[in-house]
A and B are shown apart, each in its own frame.
Chain A
Amino acid sequence: MQSNPQNLKSNIRQALLDERLQAAVKKATDHSLAKRAEVVAELPHWEALREEAARRRDHVLAHLDQYLLELEEKAQAKGIQVHWVADAEEANRIIAEICTRAASGSGATPTMERVVVGAQHASPLPNGTHPLVVKSKSMTTEEIGLTPYLENQGFEVVETDLGEYIVQIAGQMPSHITAPALHLSRQEVGKIFAEKLGVEYQEDPVELIAIARRILREKFMKADVGITGVNFAVAETGTPLMVENEGNGRLVSAIPRVQISVMGIEKVVATWEDLMILLELLPRSATGQRITGSVIFFNDRLPDADGPREMHLVILDNGRSKALADPELRSILRCIRCGACLNVCPVYRHTGGHAYGWVYPGPIGAVLAPIFLNLEKAADHPFASTLCGACSEICPVKIELHHHLLTLRDRIGQSKGTFNKERLLMTSFEGLMDRPDLFRLLAGMPRFLLHDLLGGKWKPNLPIWNDGRETPEMAPKSFSELFRRDFGSGGEAEK
């Protein structure tokens, strides 16, 4: 499958032929949904919580500049260095600069001697080693392509979330927002470990995780920089925070001398009270937990024996302010990246995440792709949905995802120009619906032709529709004929 959003259709076709993939995705998403249902049922006021969370998220979005400025001021007051970045290119460049300074051993004076910024190939330190960056899982850094960028600059970049580590060494993208390796079976993970890490093949998850723990513990100890995502950032105290289960986020933020945390502009929340509500919703929706194994609050960093240590907060726009300016789509910025809409989506459940060819799969990704990438590059994404609305129903912050998908479909339709087959068809259909006699005549034609005239000996081959189904036999009588026969004039009620 190709990691290109423009390959959506061919990727989907490929995924639909992969029964093993579908079984793995179904098993994992069913598991997540069952666990979620259990912990949601514990809270009788779940619906009220969703309402309240949506209201508070909307409030922050409506005053976003004000809350971001408050976050910046409070964060700077305690020594966090704040960087505003407009797009992926700027984000990567600034993060690479911070990493370069960190690896040169001095946070104070920037030096480009050891790592050449802009180099296309890995540039090791004079002693032959590569400066080491450890990362805890962050979809935002996936979005900006940070890891390949830093690798090009000569850094060794290690993902430390176990799922993310597995897909990294396998050379793949995460296939789910909260469960990056959900598409892989234990046998496949075993093979990847044997092949890439040179360990003996085994498929017991406990053993595989013990191997990863041992390898990654070494990396934590030696890392120059730790990079984390940010689940929320509380404006009133300037506190970014993250939730995680494995303890890797704790290690990434405790050990390396320099920490960089990357957040989208929409991750800011006004108060700790807002945060408490979101912390009820996020773990339950994401992993079916009442709370995650750790919630880590980044209020600057504790000094080590060598003195104070650095903390950087990178605030990224990258298309988000575009969504903010769009009244019809703005509420997409409420998203807290729980991934519940993926688990429940009939399309995602059949294709997995890689088919989307982009970092955010599922319904949330199908809405974000046309906004973040533009309508042309992701013109098929809003159509990768049955519009069943399950995503909107499960969303903990009540984003009307299926409405957003419809809005985007409409815009894509409009952008295709005035002559559009679909538009012509719909206008004709509208005219037909105004003339019941003509409608009945035309609707009866196929049955008359195929059943009465040809006696069912020939069936039309309908493009696309017949790819996955057979044309059914025509019934000898139409529904309205049967209805009139059995219920008399009731069938004429439509007149």
Chain B
Amino acid sequence: MSHSRSRILADIAQALVKHSGDASPPPADSPATMHLDSEIVGSETNLQRFAENLAKVGGECHILNDEEAALSQLRGILGECHGQSVLVPSDAELGRMGVARIAFETGCVAVDPKSVPLEVASKASIGITVAYGGIADTGTIILIHTILADQLSALLPPAHLVLLKRQSIYPDKSSLLIGLRAGGTDLSNSQMTWVTGPSLTADIEKVLVRGAHGPRRVIALIY
């Protein structure tokens, strides 16, 4: 181990000894011990709040009755991208739902980012992924990537279409954390990204511009 490691740790230890008397107590009552009301997760009010808050930050949200309705909505959206390429990573859930087939049927070219160079993947008009869940009070989409192709599909194209199950919409951050822990998600190994609306910047005169480096359209289909 490096010289600096031991030096920094020694400096810190010495700094703390100097006034060890004021060491504050460990935090009590961690929210993880709180009970998560399963009624709230996925409730209609929750879905409406999620949709409203996503819309506030410039995202689009469609609440649909079931998977079939969601796929039909997807078909409609892909219909607008006729002749263009669509990123569909090799994900079990997308495979089960036949998303690549729907893309083909609507006249799009389904591309797995894994099998093409980045430059090609970057030219696709839309990327489709499945989300882990959402946070209603901010309209946030929780992505947990297990493969790079999934991470890139949500990021490279100008539009990101994401499929979410209604039971996965949590009211707020704390309840999401309880859900993640209770659901056995390995927080040390999950490649997680929280996405709230299209990428944006206000770096020039604080003028809000949507579509900075990431997608300029984020479309959530909830079913």
Given A239-B187, A317-B11, decide whether A162 and B203 contact each other with a Cβ distance below 8 A.
yes
Q: Nearest B residue to A52 by beta-carbon distance?
A: B27
A245:B188 contact, CB within 8 angstroms: no
A68:B204 contact, CB within 8 angstroms: no
A160:B147 contact, CB within 8 angstroms: no
Which positions 148-177 of chain A face chain B at CB distance < 8 Å? 160-163, 166
Output the least CB separation between A222 and chain B (Å): 9
Given A59-B27, A239-B188, A276-B174, decide whether A248 and B194 contact each other with a Cβ distance below 8 A.
no
Expressed in whole angstroms, the Cα–Cα distance for A305 and B57 within the complex equals 35
Which positions 199-257 of chain A face chain B at CB distance < 8 Å? 205-206, 208-209, 213, 216-217, 220-221, 234, 236-239, 245-248, 250-251, 254-255
Chain A residues with Cβ below 8 Å from B205 are: 24, 27-28, 185-186, 205
Expressed in whole angstroms, the Cα–Cα distance for A63 and B143 within the complex equals 33
| A383 contacts chain B at the CB level, 8 A cutoff | no
Other-chain contact of A321, B11, B23, B194, B207 (Cβ < 8 Å): B11
Expressed in whole angstroms, the Cα–Cα distance for A68 and B135 within the complex equals 30
Which positions 322-356 of chain A face chain B at CB distance < 8 Å? 322, 324-325, 327
A166:B195 contact, CB within 8 angstroms: no
Chain A residues with Cβ below 8 Å from B25 are: 59
Q: Nearest B residue to A136 by beta-carbon distance?
A: B213
Interface string of A264-277 (1 = CB under 8 A from B): 01000011111010
Chain B residues with Cβ below 8 Å from A250 are: 151, 155, 193, 213-214
| A437 contacts chain B at the CB level, 8 A cutoff | no
B213:A216 contact, CB within 8 angstroms: yes
Chain A residues with Cβ below 8 Å from B9 are: 65, 68-69, 84
Output the least CB separation between A94 and chain B (Å): 9
B199:A321 contact, CB within 8 angstroms: no
B31:A273 contact, CB within 8 angstroms: yes
Chain A residues with Cβ below 8 Å from B27 are: 55-56, 59, 270-271, 273-274
**Which bracket fits the contact residues of B?**
35 or more
Which positions 160-181 of chain B face chain A at CB distance < 8 Å? 173-174, 177
Other-chain contact of A254, B22, B24, B146, B151 (Cβ < 8 Å): B151
Chain B residues with Cβ below 8 Å from A213 are: 211-213
Output the least CB separation between B200 and chain A (Å): 5
Chain B residues with Cβ below 8 Å from A296 are: 193-194
Chain A residues with Cβ below 8 Å from B14 are: 325
Q: Nearest A residue to B149 by beta-carbon distance?
A: A302
B8:A265 contact, CB within 8 angstroms: yes
B15:A321 contact, CB within 8 angstroms: yes
Which positions 78-108 of chain B face chain A at CB distance < 8 Å? none
Chain B residues with Cβ below 8 Å from A180 are: 203
| A484 contacts chain B at the CB level, 8 A cutoff | no
**Which bracket fits the contact residues of A?**
35 or more
| A485 contacts chain B at the CB level, 8 A cutoff | no
Output the least CB separation between A41 and chain B (Å): 15
| B190 contacts chain A at the CB level, 8 A cutoff | yes
Expressed in whole angstroms, the Cα–Cα distance for A24 and B187 within the complex equals 43
Chain B residues with Cβ below 8 Å from A459 are: none
B199:A254 contact, CB within 8 angstroms: no
A295:B194 contact, CB within 8 angstroms: yes
Stretch at the interface among B35-43, B60-68, B69-77, B114-122: B114-122
| A304 contacts chain B at the CB level, 8 A cutoff | yes
Expressed in whole angstroms, the Cα–Cα distance for A83 and B8 within the complex equals 11
| A125 contacts chain B at the CB level, 8 A cutoff | no
Which positions 415-438 of chain A face chain B at CB distance < 8 Å? none
Given A28-B206, A247-B214, A265-B12, decide whether A209 and B140 contact each other with a Cβ distance below 8 A.
no
A78:B122 contact, CB within 8 angstroms: no
Other-chain contact of B204, A32, A63, A205 (Cβ < 8 Å): A205
- Per CB-CB distance, the 8 closest pairs between chain A and chain B, nearest first, are A247-B214, A325-B15, A163-B203, A247-B199, A246-B212, A237-B188, A84-B5, A247-B213
Q: Can you identify 23 A-B contacts, CB atoms within 8 angstroms? A: A28-B206, A56-B27, A62-B23, A64-B16, A90-B4, A162-B201, A221-B118, A239-B188, A246-B200, A246-B201, A248-B214, A265-B8, A270-B27, A271-B30, A273-B174, A280-B173, A287-B202, A290-B138, A296-B193, A299-B191, A315-B8, A324-B11, A324-B12
